[in-house]
Amino acid sequence: MSSLYLSDREMAAIKAIDSRGLDERVRQALDERRASILSDLYLKEAHAAIAHHLYRFERDLDKHARAKAEAKRRETWSTAWSSGDDLKHIVSSLKQRVEDQEAEMQLVVIHDAIIPPHRFQERVEVDVHFRWRTGPTGAWSSGTIKFFHNVEMRPDYSLPQPARKPSSTKLEAQRQEALFERWDHLCLLALHAVREYLTTGGDGSAIPKSFQAKPGRSERFLNNFSCNFWEALGEPRERPRPLATSTTIPDSESQSATSDGSLTLNARVRHRLFGVGTVIHIDGDKVAADFGDRGTKRVQVSFLNLVTDEEADLE
C-alpha cells in the first residue's frame, strides 16, 4: 500500500534513538565482535529500513566473529564496519526525514491512508484529500481530487502460457490482482502529484475536482508524469523548488561548535536541497542554519558541507 508519511509511532521511535549513543555502540560492537550491545536501543521496532540495516550489521559482525585467518578477519571487519556505517547513516537520514515531515505538515497535509475498494473494475479511481494553508498560524483550507484511469486489460503473450486453460475463478483472481497493482500505482502517483504541487507553491483552490491519468503515447502503463494535473492548468511540467518552511530554533543556548568540531557558529554551509546557508545555532550533532529564501532549517551535521572562503567568493 502506498503512503507518503512516516507514522506517528515511527516518528516517535526514530526521535527516541540517541545518535551519539548509536555511534558509540556500533564502535563497541565492532571492538567486542557482538551486536547484542545494540539490543536495548530497540532499533528493529523503529522502522523497516533500520531493521534491514541492523540485520546486515549483525550478519556481517557474526562473520567477522567467526573468522580465523588474519586476512579473513581484516576482510570481514571492513565489511562489518561498512554495514555499521550504513546503519548510522539510515538512522541519520530518517531523523532528517522526521524533521522535514514536521516542517512540511505545518503548511500541507495529504491524507495518505487510502483504502482500496473491495472489488476492482477496469476504471480504477483514487480520491486524494488534502489540507493547506499559507502560513503556520493561518486557517486551514481543504480539498479533494479524484484521479481515475481506464486500465487496458489484455493478455501478455510475452509470458509463458499455461498448458491448461485456467478456470474462470482463477482468471478472475488474476484479473483482480492485476487491477490492484494498477490501482496501487495510480495511488502512489496521485499522492506524490498533489504533494509536489502544494509543496512547491501551488494554489490548492486551483486543483481540479477530477483528473484522468493517462499513459504516455504508445505506452500501456502510467508513468511518473501521468498524474501531473497542473499541466492541464497551463503550468509547466517541471515544478519550482519546494517552499521554505522554517524550523523553530531551540530555546537552549547554542554551542560554539558541533560535537565533532567540523562546524562553528556563523560558518557558511551547503545543503543538497536548501543550498548555501549560515549556521545560527548548534546543539550537539544538530545545526540550525539560515538558508535565506529557503527558510531556517535544523539538520544533521552529516547533511552539511562547509563552504570554503574560495567557494564563498564565487557565490
pLDDT in tens, the chain (315 residues): 668 899 999 999 999 998 888 999 999 999 999 988 998 888 999 999 999 999 999 999 999 999 999 999 999 999 999 999 999 999 989 998 998 898 888 899 999 999 999 999 999 999 999 999 988 788 999 999 999 999 988 776 677 777 788 898 998 999 999 999 999 999 999 999 999 999 888 999 999 999 999 998 888 899 999 999 999 888 888 877 665 555 666 767 889 998 888 899 999 998 877 889 999 999 888 888 988 877 788 888 877 889 887 665 555
Q: Is the Cβ–Cβ distance between 116 and 180 less than 8 Å?
A: yes
- Using alpha carbons, list the distances in angstroms from residue 161 to 157, 158, 252: 7, 9, 68
Within a domain: 214: yes
Within a domain: 2: no
Name the domain boundary from 233, 262, 293.
233
Name the domain boundary from 233, 254, 283.
233
Same structural domain, 122 and 138: yes
Within a domain: 75: yes
Same structural domain, 206 and 258: no
Within a domain: 128: yes
User: Considering the entire predicted model, what is its pTM?
Assistant: 0.73
The residue range of the domain holding 33 is 8-104
Query: Residue 290's CB: how many other CB atoms inside 10 A?
Result: 16
Cell 561548535 -> residue: 257
Same structural domain, 116 and 228: yes
Number of domains the chain contains: 3
Within a domain: 68: yes
Within a domain: 239: no
Same structural domain, 65 and 113: no
Within a domain: 1: no
CA geometry: angle at 105 spanning 245 and 236, to 5°?
70
Name the domain boundary from 86, 104, 122.
104
* CATH number of the structural domain spanning residue 284: 2.30.30
